[in-house]
Amino acid sequence: MTVIVEGIGDLQKAFADHKQQISTKTVRRMVASGAGVLRTEAKKIARQKGLKKTGAMIRNIAIKRERRTPPGVTQYNVGVRHGRDLGKRHTKFLALSKTGRIVTRRENDPFYWRFLEAGTKYIQANHFIKQSLENKRAEAIARMGEKLQQELAKANRAAR
């Protein structure tokens, strides 16, 4: 699912107007603050829709920086950590698959989040991430602008 956020022309103008070189760290902080708004809203919507069975899915809604992007692009993804991305926090155990093979499973792995978000032919879609973008798009862009202003003020203080 690809979502294009429009309306950030003002932020691009602010970048162009400012004569100092904007560091990568500033851009990342700015985009992460906007993604944080969407993450919080996605968790709220998932709770409201009753998608909390064990709480694992809601706890694992996270933002992640995309490492392989073209030069000049900063991208963060809002999604649910699952599988190997859960890290060392979750315990692994061995189990038998349907075919009799021994496989590694993770405790409280919310692998099913895609079924809930996109739906299947048996399950109706409950868009909690997509709906968070629709609900909070303007607030996320505003938060990005606020963060940019904070970072520019910090850079101006440091330059003096």
What per-residue confidence (pLDDT) applies to 27?
85
Determine, yes or no, domain membership for 3: no
Determine, yes or no, domain membership for 18: no
pLDDT digits (tens, 9 = 90+) for 97-152: 889 898 887 777 788 888 888 999 998 988 898 999 999 999 999 999 899 888 88
Q: What is the pTM of this model?
A: 0.74
Q: Which domain holds residue 139?
A: 23-159
User: Contact, 94 vs 102, CB < 8 A?
Assistant: yes
The one-letter amino acid code at 46 reads A
CA angle 111, 35, 2 (to 5 degrees): 65
Residue with tokens 């851009």: 27
pLDDT digits (tens, 9 = 90+) for 69-86: 887 788 888 888 877 676
How many residues comprise the chain?
160
Determine, yes or no, domain membership for 79: yes
| Gyration radius (Cα) of the chain, Å | 19
DSSP class of residue 99 equals T
How many structural domains is the chain composed of? 1
What per-residue confidence (pLDDT) applies to 41?
93
The one-letter amino acid code at 119 reads G
